[in-house]
Structure formats: C-alpha cells, structure tokens
C-alpha cells in the first residue's frame, strides 16, 4: 500500500498569535474558581424541596427521629402517578388516602386527578420525595421544590411546577465554563483553522440545528426517553448538590452517565422533553459539522463540506438528533476523537524533547475523548482502536516508535481514568458497579422481524444489512463509486475511512444486535464521507473528460442536496422508520417482515390524542395492543375504568399492527390511523 506523508489539518499556526502569558499561567485555576463560585451560588439560593413544605407536629404513627412536613403536591396531568420516597431511615408518607412506610426506595402507583393534592411526609434526616408523574416511567425522579407548596390544596400556588430552572441555568454555566476551558487550551490550533473551514462548519451546524429543532417532538415520545431524562435530571441535581452517596447514583445504573448529564441539564429547564431533545440536536449538528475538517484533512475541503452536509440530512442522523438518547453524543465524540487523532503529529516543534512532550499531551487529549465516549455508551470503546490505528498510520517515520510506545501507555490509561473520574458510582467499588451494569444489560431483547423471520438472535450481518437498507439509494450509489476509487488508490486515507466503517461493526459480535442502526451510528458518518469522496472522484472523471466542465462537483452536490431534501420532506416526521428506495420503503419492508417498523413509540402519540379528544367521559379504553405500553398516556378519567382485555372496551388503540398482530373483536371499526410510507404506525378502533 502506498502511504503518502501526513498532511496538516490546518494552516501553519499564526506566528503573531499572542501567547497570553497571564492566561496561560492561570487557565487551570480560573475554571475551578468559576465552577466553585457557581456551586456556591447554587448552595446559597437553592431551596430544598422539603423546605417548600410546612413543618407540622408529629403524630403517634410517625417513625422515631423523623421531621413531619405537610402541604400540597402539584399534579399537572391527572392519571396514574407513582409516588414515594427514598430514605436510609424509616419514613412515612401519606398522600391521596394512602400511607407508605419503610426505608430505601418506597413507592406506589396511585390514580390522582390533576390539581393540588394534600401530602404529609414524616421524613428521616436524609429522606427525599420521589415520583414518576404522568408521562414518565422508569426509575423515579426527585420531586422538585417547584412542585411543592406549604399551603393546603385549596390555597396552594405553584411556579412552573416540575422544573428546577436555577439548577438548569447553573449547570449550563458550568458546561459553558468547561467548553471555554477546552477552547483556551486549544486556542492556538483553533486560531489556525482557515476562515473557509469555520464558515463551512458554522453553516452546517446552524443548518443541522434548524432541521432538528423544526417540529422537534412531532414523532412523539420514544421508548427510552423518559428513563434517560429522569436519570439525567437526578444526576445533575446530585452533582450540583455535591451528593456522591452510592444511593444517589442507582438510577439507570446499567448505562454510563455522560449522555444523562447532558440531557439532565435540559430536564431541569422544563417539565417535558423539549430542552433535552434540543441538546441532542446540538450534539448531532456539531458531530456532523466536524466532518468538514476531517474531510479536508483526508481529501479536500470540498469533500469535507459535502460529507458534513450529507450526514446532516441523512434520516437516521435527523431521527436521533430529535431524541433524548445515547446516539446523539456518540456522533459527536467519534467525530471529535477522529479529528484529534488525525492531528496528533501536526507541527511538532524542532526540539525533540519539547516535541515529545507535545506528542504525549496530544495523546492524553485523545485518551480523554475516548474516555468521555465510553462514559456515554460502553460500545464507544471501539473508538479507541480506531484512534490508535489513525495515530500510528499518521505517524511520521521518526515518530512511529515513540507514538507506539506512548500511545499504548497513555491512551488506554487516560481513557479508563476518565471514565472512573466522571462516573461517581464507580468511585467506591468500580468492579462491582461495572459487573452489576453488565449483568443488567445481559438480557435478550424482544423478538423483532429481520429478513422475513422474527428473531431475538439475528446473524452477525444484521448491522451491515440495516446500514444498506437505511441509506438513501443515491448515497449508496456514490459510496460504491468511492469503493472503486479506494481500490484504485489504496492509500492512507482509504485505510482510515475504511477502518472508520468497519471497526464500529465489531459490535456485531456482541449480544447487542437490535434496534436497527442505533449501535453503529459512527458507520453512518463514515458512509457520508465515503459518499462525498465518491462524488469528488466522479466529478474529477467528468472534468478530466470534458475540459469545459469545471463545476461538475458543485452540480452533483446540488443534485444530491435536492434529493436528500426531498427524502427528508417525504419522511417527516418519522425518520426512525426510513428505508431506502431500493427496499421498497417502510410499507414494503413491514409487509414482508424484512425490518422493524414502528418499534420505538414513534407515531403512537396522534392515536392517543385522538382518543383523548373524542372518547366520552369515563369510556373504557384498551391498550392491550400497545407496545411500548408505558408510552400510552390517556386522559385522567379514562384510567379508572381501564380494561384488561378488548371485549369490554369501547375504544382500542393498536400500535405497530404490521409487526404485532392484534386480535380485534369483530365489531371494531377503524376510526383513525397514522400511516407512514405505506405502513400503519398506529390506529384507533371504536366499538
């Protein structure tokens, strides 16, 4: 294989850039001081939730050593509410005519009408109220002070119940401080990036953000969003309170915390998924924008711009940029890790000792990003081998030995230490905590259709087939053109891009073969770069044969942009159920049971809204044919007469009928349905 010399990512760093002696001396202290001041401000002005209740006299039945509180709890949406407490000592909770006693996490499901409801809590010293209000399930979330009032229900008033906006603002300020610190550390390299690259990245980022924020919640709530949202909210509350007790980090412990930290900031700002989804949109848009410098480094600037543009509008990336999930930060960390790995050897100083020190620090930086990626999702550990390959392949001959030695020593160690440092659950018993997480994850998922069969164990070709099926046909065609170019070139950047596609597919050899392309999101970015490079190769052939054709690349890019724009418009808002034209579309793959459609809750919400708007008071509703049933949120008066079967129901809601057959009564007639690309996502039947 012909391996050319490494090319620099940026122009030569600006010689006239001021070094900022004072800033360089204090940059490590300033962020610590700023974060300390923000935490101090929060401790000063924060109201503990129990302080928003009135202290009342003890009753004979209260456990010894408790303090009794009373007041009202805001129920913004009536229906089934899971309410309780977490306490190391014995506590007692009275609400809605029920009494809960015990220690640990104690909770009960109650049907409570909307409005203020009376609450009395005899709390042990470390106790807190927890609940799962209507609209969210999974682990319980901490009851916020805004949802409590010291007054009885008839006089209770609440300000933005369900929110903790001060905590959200302080968490955002801390995040901004950390980002600013990283930018200061990298200021010389950032200043050397060309203006054209910055403009391209800015346009891609803004465009990608607008696409994702438009109709942000139109597809409805998806399967894991409430679990991620709740755990993130609790985690951010813990961090701001400097609460690192093991009992405070039980929530969704099977998954690492970084995604939940980010989502948790949005969860503080609103009693809903909107701000947290917006953070996902930002993360995916940033990850796509970073393809500009990556493509410029490996090919040309125009290839990077087109790759970023393609990835920005590919349906899977749009879909997961609108969801509170692990996929959004995965896109960003892989792009960032690859970009840093590509630049490890850029502009090393002439002095060998100084150059070695710079090299070591850059390897540490790559290791930190790998650690953050793993702390977002375990399978992101595959970023490590890819970055290692890039660093070694890019190393100039005189630095190859040092790169191998220091890279092997520093990158894995720093990644492991990073995961440990940012996951408090690991601090006391890291091995036991990881073992518990893996044990909980080691379970078979529900059966799903795949290539005509319904299976829990699809073959190792599962992700490869799904990537081909969910890629638009036009993009798949130019990826094939890239393959032709790669066979002819066989150079360094071909090896790197091919590895970028192949290494994430190693997850195929794990038990995690499910949910379409969720676990191989980095492959989609690699395919976008391949497609852009394929267009560049094709345009080069056209321009070489026709001397008068100078703008073939631009023309082909415009055609691709229009094609992908029409694809998005046709798929809106159910991007999770997009399948390329070569598959026949969602309707065909659902009818033939080739792939899974209507699998994550998308498209269910309009059917629920129809029932809530049209069902008579206290009507009997069946949700037996809804999977996931925890997303089926009905009007408050429809819960008490909820049936356990369809024969007594007046209204029946069906989800994913193509995937999961529903034995409807003969007299049920369809009155509403949600159809996407020829397949029914959900339907409502009336008897």
**132 and 273 in a common domain:** no
Q: Determine which of 179-193, 244-258, 555-569 has the lowest per-residue pLDDT on average.
A: 179-193
What span, in angstroms and rounded, lies between the C-alpha atoms of 592 and 451? 8
Contact 95, 118 (CB under 8 A): yes
State the average pLDDT for the chain: 93
Contact 370, 411 (CB under 8 A): yes
Taking 70 as the threshold, does the pLDDT of residue 10 lie above it?
no
pLDDT tens column, 442-454: 877 888 999 999 9
Q: What is the DSSP letter of 615?
A: S
**547 and 626 in a common domain:** no
Q: Give the pLDDT band of residue 14 (cuts 50, 70, 90).
A: very low
476 within some domain = yes
What span, in angstroms and rounded, lies between the C-alpha atoms of 44 and 41? 5
| 69: containing domain | 49-159
CATH code assigned at 118: 3.90.182.10
Q: Determine which of 404-418, 535-549, 572-586 has the lowest per-residue pLDDT on average.
A: 535-549
Q: Give the pLDDT band of residue 628 (cuts 50, 70, 90).
A: confident
Domain boundary among 571, 595, 620: 571
**221 and 101 in a common domain:** no
Domain boundary among 141, 159, 177: 159
Taking 80 as the threshold, does the pLDDT of residue 5 lie above it?
no
Taking 50 as the threshold, does the pLDDT of residue 375 lie above it?
yes
Tell me the pTM.
Answer: 0.95
Report the pLDDT value the prediction gives residue 443, as an integer from 0 to 100. Answer: 78
pLDDT tens column, 86-132: 999 999 999 999 999 999 999 999 999 999 999 999 999 999 999 99
**614 and 565 in a common domain:** no
Taking 60 as the threshold, does the pLDDT of residue 591 lie above it?
yes
Q: Give the pLDDT band of residue 7 (cuts 50, 70, 90).
A: very low
pLDDT tens column, 242-276: 999 999 999 999 999 999 999 999 999 999 999 99
Taking 90 as the threshold, does the pLDDT of residue 559 lie above it?
yes
18 within some domain = no
Taking 50 as the threshold, does the pLDDT of residue 60 lie above it?
yes
**631 and 564 in a common domain:** no
Taking 80 as the threshold, does the pLDDT of residue 26 lie above it?
no
Taking 60 as the threshold, does the pLDDT of residue 9 lie above it?
no
Q: Give the pLDDT band of residue 489 (cuts 50, 70, 90).
A: confident
Taking 90 as the threshold, does the pLDDT of residue 23 lie above it?
no
Report the pLDDT value the prediction gives residue 192, as an integer from 0 to 100. Answer: 85
Domain boundary among 159, 183, 202: 159
Report the pLDDT value the prediction gives residue 442, as an integer from 0 to 100. Answer: 84
Question: Percent of the chain scored above 90 by pLDDT?
Answer: 87
581 within some domain = no
Q: Determine which of 190-194, 239-243, 393-397, 638-642 has the lowest per-residue pLDDT on average.
A: 638-642
**What's the Cα-to-Cα distance from 484 to each of 480, 494, 533, rounded to whole Å?**
7, 11, 11
Average pLDDT over residues 578-588: 96
Give 169-177's long-range contacts (Cβ < 8 A, gap of 24+). Answer: 169/269, 170/38, 170/39, 170/41, 170/42, 170/240, 171/236, 171/239, 171/240, 171/264, 171/265, 171/268, 172/265, 173/38, 174/35, 174/38, 174/39, 175/262, 175/265, 177/31, 177/34, 177/35, 177/38
429 within some domain = yes
pLDDT tens column, 634-656: 999 999 877 778 888 999 999 99
534 within some domain = yes
**416 and 498 in a common domain:** yes
**677 and 565 in a common domain:** no
**205 and 106 in a common domain:** no
Q: What is the DSSP letter of 326?
A: S
6 within some domain = no
Q: Give the pLDDT band of residue 427 (cuts 50, 70, 90).
A: very high
Total count of domains within the chain: 3
Report the pLDDT value the prediction gives residue 21, as an integer from 0 to 100. Answer: 55
**614 and 566 in a common domain:** no
643 within some domain = yes
**305 and 223 in a common domain:** yes
**410 and 318 in a common domain:** yes
What span, in angstroms and rounded, lies between the C-alpha atoms of 54 and 72? 10
**401 and 274 in a common domain:** yes
415 within some domain = yes
């Amino acid at each position: 294989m012909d391996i050319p010399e490494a090319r620099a990512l940026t122009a030569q760093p600006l010689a006239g850039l001021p070094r900022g002696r004072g800033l360089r001396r204090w940059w490590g202290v300033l962020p610590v001081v700023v974060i300390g001041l923000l935490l101090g401000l929060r401790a000063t002005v924060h109201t503990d939730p129990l302080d928003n209740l009135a202290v009342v006299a003890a009753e004979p039945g209260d456990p010894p050593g408790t303090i009794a509180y009373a007041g009202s709890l805001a129920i913004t949406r009536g229906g089934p509410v899971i309410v309780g407490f977490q306490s190391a000592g014995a506590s007692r909770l009275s609400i809605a005519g029920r009494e809960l006693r015990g220690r640990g996490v104690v909770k009960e499901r109650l049907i409570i009408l909307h409005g203020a409801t009376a609450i009395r809590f005899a709390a042990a010293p470390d106790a807190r109220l927890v609940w799962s209000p209507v609209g969210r399930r999974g682990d319980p979330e901490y009851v916020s002070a805004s949802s409590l009032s010291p007054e009885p229900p008839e006089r209770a008033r609440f300000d933005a119940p369900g929110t903790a906006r001060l905590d959200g603002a302080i968490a955002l300020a801390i995040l901004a401080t950390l980002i600013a610190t990283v930018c200061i550390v990298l200021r010389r390299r950032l200043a050397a990036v060309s203006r054209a690259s910055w403009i391209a990245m800015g346009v891609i980022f803004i465009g990608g953000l607008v696409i994702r924020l438009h109709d942000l919640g139109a597809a409805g709530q998806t399967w894991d969003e409430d679990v991620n949202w709740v755990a993130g909210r609790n985690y951010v509350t813990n961090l701001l309170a400097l609460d690192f007790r093991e009992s405070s980090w039980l929530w969704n412990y099977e998954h690492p915390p970084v995604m939940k930290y980010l989502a948790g900031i949005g969860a503080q700002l609103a009693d809903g998924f909107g701000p947290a989804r917006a953070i996902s949109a930002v993360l995916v848009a940033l990850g796509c924008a970073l393809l500009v410098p990556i493509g410029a480094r490996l090919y040309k600037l125009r290839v990077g711009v087109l790759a970023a543009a393609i990835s920005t509008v590919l349906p899977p990336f749009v879909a997961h940029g609108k969801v509170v999930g692990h996929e959004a930060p995965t896109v960003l960390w892989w792009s960032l890790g690859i970009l840093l790995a590509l630049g490890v050897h850029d502009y090393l100083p002439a002095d060998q000792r100084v150059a070695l020190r710079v090299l070591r620090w850059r390897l540490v930086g790559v290791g930190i990003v790998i650690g953050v990626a793993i702390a977002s999702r375990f399978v992101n550990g595959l970023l490590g081998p890819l970055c290692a390959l890039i660093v070694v392949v890019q190393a100039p001959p005189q630095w190859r030995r040092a790169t191998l030695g220091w890279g092997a020593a520093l990158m894995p160690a720093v990644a492991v230490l990073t995961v440990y440092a940012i996951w408090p659950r690991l601090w006391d018993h890291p091995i036991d905590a990881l073992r518990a997480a893996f044990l909980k994850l080691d379970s078979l998922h529900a059966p799903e259709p795949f290539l005509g069969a319904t299976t829990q164990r699809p073959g190792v070709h599962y992700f490869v087939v799904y990537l081909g099926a969910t890629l638009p046909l036009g993009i798949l065609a130019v990826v094939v053109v890239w393959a032709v170019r790669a066979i002819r070139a066989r150079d360094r950047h071909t090896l790197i891009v091919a590895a970028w596609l192949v290494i994430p597919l190693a997850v195929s050899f794990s038990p995690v073969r499910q949910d379409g392309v969720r676990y191989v999101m980095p492959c989609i970015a690699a395919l976008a770069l391949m497609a852009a490079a394929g267009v560049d190769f094709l345009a080069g052939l056209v321009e070489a044969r026709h001397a008068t054709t100078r703008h073939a690349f631009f023309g082909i890019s415009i055609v691709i942009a229009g094609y992908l724009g029409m694809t998005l418009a046709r798929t809106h808002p159910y991007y999770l159920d997009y399948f390329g034209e070569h598959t026949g579309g969602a309707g065909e793959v659902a009818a033939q049971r080739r792939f899974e459609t209507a699998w994550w809750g998308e498209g269910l919400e309009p059917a629920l809204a129809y029932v809530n708007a049209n069902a008579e008071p206290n009507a009997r509703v069946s949700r037996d044919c809804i999977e996931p049933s925890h997303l089926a949120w009905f009007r408050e008066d429809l819960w008490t007469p909820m049936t356990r079967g369809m024969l007594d129901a007046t209204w029946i809601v069906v989800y994913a009928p193509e995937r999961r057959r529903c034995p409807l009564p003969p007299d049920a007639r369809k009155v509403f349905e949600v159809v996407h690309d020829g397949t029914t996502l959900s339907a409502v039947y009336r008897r």
